[in-house]
A = this chain, B = another copy of it.
Amino acid sequence: MRIAIDAMGGDYAPAQIVRGAVEGLQFLSADDELLLLGQEDAIRAHLPPEFASHRQIRVHHCPDVIAMDDSPVEALRQKKNSSIMIMVKLASERLVDAVISAGNTGACVAAAQLKMRTLGRVQRPGIAVVLPSFHGPLTVCDVGANVAPKPHHLLQYAQMASAYSEHVLKIQNPRVGLLSIGSEEVKGSPLVKLTHELLKRDPTVNFVGNVEGRDLFSGVCEVAVCDGFVGNVVLKLTEGLSDGIFKTISREIADESPELAKRFEPVVKKIWAKHDYSEHGGAPLLGVDGICIICHGSSDARAIKNAVRITIQYAKENLNRVFCDRLTEEEPANA
């Protein structure tokens, strides 16, 4: 398979992206290939000499660069020769099988939705992010691709995210929760109530009912579905709050005693290592015809390496075929 990697995307691009790609070579089969997209000089400057003409690495020059804070809509219109735009174009022409980017998320998702078709019965792709909860990985879908979904979209997210959790994270029969504001069926928005009905009737999903914000990390489910607005808030709040709490604790301990702070440090490192998002290598955009992995903006080489690993696993498990088989036939009137 051919995997396109956006070498210009992310806070540590191109250095960490190129390094991560090189480290990802270990997961490739003999006839797999990595395609690094971006400004050729910049990429080559970071490519170690021994990999400069590696037979499984190619560099594809793209003169335009989409910045992390560019407006997605403007960027896609004006920067047609950016790594992101070229990458999805190659995917749409079947010249690559998968795309990976740690760049401007909005631009990347919009580009993928624009150029890569949706898969079979999928109506709208959704981003599934794997959060390291205290009880194992939790897959949340959608976290930003679809801010005003229909109930049928959320049903499909439940079906696809379940399959992802099962096949990529190796969780058997993952429990699926519908994020709401009360565990009772009668609570929630109209979207939640209608989705609840669809999920209850679906035999392919191990639905455990509505879950609340406080349950997300307490191990009541391995998959949570919600609209892209709520999911995005959950994702970013989780990041900001975790970071804030650890900083606060570190500061308080340092105030207490520098010696204690020194002893606390390895404990924090151990916890971060256990709950490191980069372990899961990025968030798949589920439902596109191809493989699209959105990495965190602050991805380092390790995250990119893991993105290559899960991309290969995604392909090996033939996940898109699994999705097509699982997605229910019916498309209700309200979808």
Contact = CB atoms under 8 A, between A and B. Distances in A.
Nearest to A74: B186
Contacts of A214: 236-237, 239-240, 243
Contacts of A237: 213-214, 216, 234, 237-238, 241
A136 interface: no
A271 B242 contact: no
In this complex, which of A179, A187, A246 has the most chain B Cβ atoms within 10 angstroms of its Cβ? A187
Interface residues on A, range: 35 or more
A263 interface: yes
A54 B252 CA distance: 44
Contacts of A73: 186
Contacts of A186: 71, 73
Contacts of A235: 213
Q: How many copies altogether?
A: 2
Contact of A245 (B180, B245, B266, B267): B245
A270 interface: yes
A52 interface: no
Interface of A is mostly: helix
Interface stretch (A79-87, A201-209, A225-233): A225-233
B229 A189 contact: yes
A248 interface: yes
A62 to B, nearest CB: 24
A212 interface: yes
Contact of A244 (B184, B217, B268): B217
Contact of A270 (B182, B233, B234, B252): B252
Contacts of A166: none
A249 interface: yes
Interface of A: 71, 73, 106, 133-134, 144, 147-148, 179-182, 184, 186-190, 192, 212-218, 228-230, 232-249, 252-253, 256, 260, 263-264, 266-268, 270-271
Top-5 shortest CB links A-B:
A213-B236, A214-B240, A213-B237, A181-B232, A214-B236
Given A216-B240, A217-B240, A260-B264, 20 more contacts: A71-B186, A133-B244, A134-B244, A144-B181, A147-B181, A148-B190, A181-B233, A212-B232, A213-B232, A213-B236, A216-B237, A234-B237, A237-B237, A237-B238, A237-B241, A241-B241, A245-B246, A249-B249, A252-B270, A252-B271
